[in-house]
A and B are shown apart, each in its own frame.
Chain A
């Protein structure tokens, strides 16, 4: 399985580029409420950017229901790990 730290590193880059904020750091407990621009519109851009980075397909609604970034990393570890 792909290393959790590796997923975190790549996901951080995706977030930084999507929200155009080079200083953005991720944490497991982070949620949409913690990122200014993370609204339903940007959520879709984020999903597509994550799909591209990890070369996977996601269910946008399922991603929307994830509790926090930590859960997203869990999902990516499973999906991108195979």
Chain B
């Protein structure tokens, strides 16, 4: 067993402290203690004890995101389910994890009257493993027969996916399956086209090719390989109780899956905040100078270059970068300007903070400058004191512990999994540019004496459109990822949204915004529902990047136009409070709506639209939509 003798007792002490905190009503402290002591690699006994404690804690005060997830498998996941719930809590979810009866996936999905179909979970996880994939081949079979077998197995998955997407409208997770460690053919099982392992790999390689939007593929095999196949398998528990993987692998699987689900549901982190001295290079720039720091040559220097490459790749896939360092600004900046081996450039960072102030204050400023929540930040610093300071003052910020040697830095950041994404769009790669352009806008803004002249000078152009196939994925992504400018917190999958767009009583709208500094991309999604003589704003999300530029007013005018075209007399709006959307609490009031009801977390607002009511003032000029054209 992997649990070494010290994990048990040491963990028991932490568990008792967490229990005491929970008993005292401090759920937040209980979770904090729990997740300081427990790691993804902790053995199953510890995972299971932590999960049991979590079950006894009332999570309501933490205002976590509710999530219902159903596991469907032909193996036993009853021990895994609470561990998954545990790691989902770490990622900000109050999840309800149900396990469908053993090996009933196909009937549960295809039968319209099944309890699964009635329960309408947010996520259905088809937890397949290699044992579930029927690939029959004889030694020596030709490639055509092998390919036909793989196609057949994949067609069976596609039937399940399509039914779930169309009939249940949930997000679907399916597995890239693990490969068995042992095979009678040994090496040939992987090297011969008809080998079992070769066929499973073929199956795994084909799934991403055919998976439509809405299907999230979980790379179970990667978890198995990272762990090591001999630790992954425990045949005893397959024969005893149909456990498809070693129970000690529960933590790594749950951790990886929770990160992926967070990415799919908009709770992944957005910004990486980096220290400089002994974090991005070896040595202290103020003492050692540009020529004296370790970067580029030697084993340390090469490890730092590898870190630069990793961080730069994160930026290119849409993670915002920021610097938070105790340094003279010019001294720190000189490395990025002058050092020949420095891969990262000054312009890669949306915010570059180098001063002698305390890091908690600086990080708070960074979040404010970027207009993102503190809980979207991940902080990396080699200095344990700084990490501790940030943890104590800014508990919302995730802090990654770095190992002693810089060769382990990339692994520490990568294994944390904070930046896991379920999909990638062109918008993601452009995000860094959006934030850099925003910094330019801010500079221009300071040059203007009044706001209207600044806004006029931006020369903003808004292109409105509907749910056409080109924009649909981004409209859905925005609805599912936005937390702050999201009035109702509604989440719709791409499939659901596609269906909504075809309903006669519904209107799906989007807005693309550009200005003289560049294209902001698709920055707002709206779902309207026609009810008698009123138009209800079911969903209104907007990117916080464009806040305060009269874009809200521009959208309000569009909502009004949509309502008038359908003969409506009033527009109805809703605000449903969440832990993150306080930003828009006063939006309808500011737009002149009247509050018509208050109940619990929800307020409802109405606005009468007569011909004599003037339009909202906006500096955004309408331009024709570019339907079907890439940004």
Residues of A within 8 A of B (CB): 17-18, 20, 40-41, 44-45, 48-49, 51-53, 55, 57, 59-61
**Please, what's the 1-or-0 string for B141-162, where 1 marks a CB less than 8 Å from any CB in chain A?**
0000000000000000000000
Interchain CA distance A33-B57 in the complex, whole Å: 28
Nearest 10 pairs between A and B by C-beta?
A52-B3, A60-B240, A49-B45, A51-B1, A45-B48, A52-B1, A48-B45, A61-B240, A48-B44, A52-B45
User: Is B233 among interface residues, defined by CB-CB distance under 8 A?
Assistant: no
Contact of B49 among A17, A44, A51, A55 (CB under 8 A): A17
User: Is B590 among interface residues, defined by CB-CB distance under 8 A?
Assistant: no
Interface pair B45/A45, CB less than 8 Å apart: yes
Contact of A17 among B12, B79, B236, B247 (CB under 8 A): B12
A11, chain B: closest CB distance, angstroms: 14
Interchain CA distance A53-B46 in the complex, whole Å: 12
A51, chain B: closest CB distance, angstroms: 5
Interface pair B48/A59, CB less than 8 Å apart: no
B56, chain A: closest CB distance, angstroms: 9
Interchain CA distance A20-B55 in the complex, whole Å: 13
Would A52 and B52 be within 8 Å (CB), given that A41-B79, A45-B79, A60-B237 are in contact? no
Interface pair B240/A48, CB less than 8 Å apart: no
Choose among B5, B12, B52, B243 the residue with the greatest number of A CB atoms under 10 Å from its CB. B52
Residues of B within 8 A of A (CB): 1, 3, 5, 8, 12, 43-45, 48-49, 52, 78-79, 236-237, 240-241, 243, 247-248
Residues of B within 8 A of A51 (CB): 1
Interface pair B241/A44, CB less than 8 Å apart: yes
Interface pair B247/A48, CB less than 8 Å apart: yes
Interface pair B241/A60, CB less than 8 Å apart: yes
Would A57 and B1 be within 8 Å (CB), given that A45-B79, A48-B45, A49-B45 are in contact? yes
Interface pair A52/B237, CB less than 8 Å apart: no
Interface pair B1/A60, CB less than 8 Å apart: no
Residues of A within 8 A of B45 (CB): 18, 45, 48-49, 52
Residues of A within 8 A of B1 (CB): 48, 51-52, 55, 57
Interchain CA distance A41-B248 in the complex, whole Å: 15
Closest to A61 in B: B240
Q: A52-B3, A59-B236 are in contact. List 9 more A-B contacts (CB 8 A).
A: A17-B12, A20-B49, A40-B241, A44-B243, A48-B1, A48-B43, A49-B45, A57-B1, A60-B237
Contact of A55 among B5, B12, B44, B52 (CB under 8 A): B5
Residues of B within 8 A of A44 (CB): 79, 237, 241, 243, 247
A52, chain B: closest CB distance, angstroms: 4
Contact of A41 among B3, B12, B78, B240 (CB under 8 A): B78
A38, chain B: closest CB distance, angstroms: 14
Residues of A within 8 A of B49 (CB): 17, 20
Interface pair A20/B237, CB less than 8 Å apart: no
Residues of B within 8 A of A55 (CB): 1, 5
Interchain CA distance A20-B15 in the complex, whole Å: 11
Closest to B240 in A: A60
Residues of B within 8 A of A57 (CB): 1
Interchain CA distance A73-B387 in the complex, whole Å: 47
Residues of A within 8 A of B5 (CB): 55
Interface pair B79/A20, CB less than 8 Å apart: no
Residues of A within 8 A of B12 (CB): 17
Interchain CA distance A49-B240 in the complex, whole Å: 17
B396, chain A: closest CB distance, angstroms: 31
Interchain CA distance A29-B590 in the complex, whole Å: 73
Closest to B15 in A: A17
Of the A-B pairs whose beta carbons lie under 8 Å apart in the complex, a sample of 11, sorted by A's number, is A20-B52, A44-B237, A44-B243, A44-B247, A45-B79, A48-B45, A48-B247, A48-B248, A57-B1, A60-B237, A60-B241
Closest to A59 in B: B236
Residues of A within 8 A of B248 (CB): 48
